[in-house]
């Protein structure tokens, strides 16, 4: 599951890094990297996503709940997303 959700999110962000969906998913991923901040994400942003898009967001949240927001595959996916968003 972890790799599947991360793979889908990475593909979305790489395809159009500056699209609204990409930026919202990237914001959620960035939030899930900051455990000490209590994972503060504006849940009302979920209203802006379609049901299918929310499933991806929920999948990312489930990864966090299962401690999947750390480790090699998580870090590799985040690095790809970071590069795509920054245009590197």
- Cα–Cα distances (Å) from 69 to 6, 13, 39, 75, in that order, read 10, 17, 11, 8
pLDDT at 43: 76
In which domain, by residue range, is 33 found? 2-86
Say how far apart CA 83 and CA 47 lie, in whole Å: 27
Into how many domains does the chain fold? 1
Contact 19, 54 (CB under 8 A): no
Sign of the four-CA dihedral 77, 78, 79, 83: positive
Per-residue pLDDT of the chain (88 residues; tens, 9 = 90+): 456 999 999 999 999 999 999 999 998 998 888 776 666 667 788 889 999 999 999 999 899 899 998 899 999 999 999 999 998 6
């Amino acid at each position: 599951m972890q790799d599947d959700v991360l793979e889908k999110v990475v593909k979305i962000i790489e395809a159009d890094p500056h699209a609204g969906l990409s930026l919202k998913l990237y914001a959620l991923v960035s939030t899930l990297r900051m455990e000490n901040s209590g994972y503060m994400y504006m849940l009302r942003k979920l209203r802006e996503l379609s049901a299918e898009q929310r499933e991806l967001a929920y999948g990312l949240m489930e990864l966090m709940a299962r401690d999947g927001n750390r480790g090699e595959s998580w870090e590799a996916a985040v690095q790809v997303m970071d590069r795509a968003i920054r245009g590197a």
